[in-house]
Amino acid sequence: MNYLLSFILLITIVVFIHEYGHYYFAKKYGVGVTDFSIGFGKEIFGWNDKSGTRWKICWIPLGGYVKFFGDRNVFSQAEQQELINNYNEEDRKKLFILKPLYQRSIIVAAGPFANFILAIFIFFMINLFVGKDLSPAIINEVLEDSPAFDAGMKKNDKIISIDNKKVESILEISTFINTSTSELITFKILRNQDEEIILKIKPDIVPGKDSLGNSIDKKMIGIKLVPPNNSFERERLGLSMAFYYSVKEVWFVTTSSLRYLGKKVIGEGDFSQLGGPIKIAKITGQVSKYGIIPFLSIMAYISISLGLINLFPIPMLDGGHLMFYFFEKMLGRPLSQKTQEFFFRIGIFLLFSLMFFVTFNDLRTL
């Protein structure tokens, strides 16, 4: 029950922010909004605001939607004209399909970008009020016959960067190693305080457990790092630095996710790490037991993932609509009815295939 409640709270906030991004710019550009729903299926409860929007909570908490005035799937110009003729001049001003292309694009893109803004805000508040660990990554021990030992790493070497990503905390080492998509990971180390050395290391893949006890395959190079005084000390950051590190974290998670998915597209990498709602619920419940800061952190990561996935050029997702708008801009007209229907069928197939695959992965790991 703890897992379920934590998951519902997290997904409700993340979905609300996403849909509110759509809603905010729709209202800004005069588009009528008839429904703002958190969840799908039968309504549990709801209310109408002064503008006539129905705000509601539904039984299936796996998403949400904003429904625009007069909204329906309109593929052809003939259908659009038929829809337009059903409304008087005043109501036509509220129709989404009659808004300029740039306004429609902003309304659609606002949902995913709201998720990125939420993540930046969460990291910003954590950096500002809780702090960020900036312990130097100084090697305490290099295990014999390990990849690091064979490459020439030594005790007291300071790791400066991994795959050209600057290391600013000892806590980043494991993350940078395990998110690397390169067979040989490039380390830049500082030796004797003045000698910079570049080492390329192929990590060992070792079955293990993450900090929550979940089974994962870890990349290990055979080093031990210990923070000064054997404790991590978070340093509260100023406004500018807190914002800088927040944006940097969102950028790192986004680019790492894209590289990871890129490997999957070409058939490389570990597919077992892909998860869906069941895995998210499990991890959310595990993390929530450690307090509000870990819970907010996982919320930020889920928000980034939701924003990123929705920007993929797949019909049914926000990125699919943006793809259609791109073609409309290039061609000077919307794509034909048959072309759009063809893309929508592909989109539905891809989404259902992905849902089946990640659900199978979730159940298998459980």
Which amino acid, residue 250? V
**Nearest alpha-carbon partner for 61 in 3, 7, 115:** 7
Provide the pLDDT for residue 364.
Answer: 59
Return d(Cα 57, Cα 39) in angstroms, integer: 6
Q: What is the pLDDT of residues 16-58, one digit of tens each?
A: 999 999 999 999 999 999 999 999 999 999 999 999 999 999 9
In tens, the pLDDT along 112-153 reads: 999 999 999 999 999 999 999 888 899 999 999 999 999 999
Residues 358 and 366: their CA atoms lie apart, in Å, by 12
pLDDT at 80: 67
* Residue 362: per-residue pLDDT: 57
> Cα separation of 314 and 323, whole Å?
8
Nearest alpha-carbon partner for 200 in 181, 186, 218, 221: 186
| Domain 133-235: CATH architecture, name and number where available | Roll (2.30)
**Which pLDDT tens digit goes with each residue over 193-218?**
889 999 999 999 888 776 666 677 78
**pLDDT value at position 128?**
95
Model confidence pLDDT, tens digit, residues 304-335: 999 999 999 888 889 999 999 999 899 988 88
Extract the tokens encoding 129. 């009020």
Does the pLDDT at position 62 exceed 90? no
19 catalytic, yes or no? Answer: yes
The C-alpha atoms of residue 36 and residue 58 are separated, in whole angstroms, by 11
pLDDT of residue 74: 47
Average pLDDT over residues 144-163: 94
Look up residue 75 and give its amino acid: F
Closest CA relative to residue 217, chosen from 366, 3, 365: 365
Contact (Cβ atoms closer than 8 angstroms) between residue 157 and residue 191? yes
**pLDDT attached to residue 75:** 47
H helices present in the chain, as ranges: 2-28, 77-85, 89-92, 101-125, 147-151, 172-178, 239-265, 277-288, 292-310, 318-331, 337-365
Helix (DSSP H) and strand (DSSP E) numbers for the chain: 11, 12
pTM assigned to the model: 0.86
Asked if residues 166 and 160 have their Cβ atoms less than 8 Å apart, the reply is yes
Average pLDDT over residues 86-109: 90
How does the average pLDDT of the chain come out, rounded?
86
CB 68 within 8 A of CB 87: no
Domain ranges of the chain: 2-130+304-365, 133-235
